[in-house]
């Protein structure tokens, strides 16, 4: 029994540390810029961003309901300039990207486009890609 407890303590400690280190929380104060439900084939989609007061310095992507592979995220700013993020990220449902920094400090965002492919199962349904802005 003593040996079992000695082995169990490091495992529990590692589990707790990894749970906090890889927390998938949305940062406090993040603003939901928009979302898209995505199908089961490779495609391209655009999330138009509504008129918000203020601007954003970072964005992040959250994926819900199914697994998605996301390619080539492009942010179009209010003045028409674009910033590309050469991404090829695979998201499990309920996970998010790292924080993506926007060039030039705080920027107004007009739209966010991306290519994708759903990699989950039909039984899990369509995935939802949600983009958040961080001031």
Cα pseudo-dihedral 40, 41, 42, 46, rounded to 10: -60
In a domain, 92, yes or no: yes
In a domain, 13, yes or no: no
The CATH number covering residue 118 comes to 2.60.120
In a domain, 130, yes or no: yes
**Number of domains composing the chain:** 1
In a domain, 46, yes or no: yes
Q: Structure pTM?
A: 0.75
Q: Are 76 and 109 in contact (CB under 8 A)?
A: yes
| pLDDT tens across the length of the chain (135 residues) | 666 545 545 444 444 333 333 346 788 889 999 999 887 777 899 999 977 667 899 999 999 888 888 889 999 999 999 999 887 878 888 888 889 999 988 899 999 999 988 786 666 678 889 999 998
In a domain, 17, yes or no: no
The domain of 97 spans: 30-134
In a domain, 16, yes or no: no
In a domain, 43, yes or no: yes
In a domain, 21, yes or no: no
Q: Are 45 and 36 in contact (CB under 8 A)?
A: yes
Rg (CA), the chain: 18
């Amino acid at each position: 029994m003593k040996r079992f407890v000695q082995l169990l303590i490091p495992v529990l400690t590692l589990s707790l540390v990894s749970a906090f280190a890889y927390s998938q929380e949305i940062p406090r104060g993040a603003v939901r810029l928009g979302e898209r439900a995505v199908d089961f084939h490779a495609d391209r989609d655009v999330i138009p961003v509504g008129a918000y007061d203020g601007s954003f310095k970072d964005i992040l992507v959250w994926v819900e309901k199914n697994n998605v592979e996301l390619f080539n995220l492009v942010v179009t700013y209010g003045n028409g300039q674009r910033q590309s993020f050469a991404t090829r990220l695979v998201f499990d449902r309920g996970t998010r990207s790292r924080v993506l920094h926007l060039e030039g400090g705080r920027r107004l965002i007009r739209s966010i486009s991306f290519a994708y492919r759903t990699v989950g199962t039909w039984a899990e349904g369509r995935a939802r890609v949600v983009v958040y802005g961080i001031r």
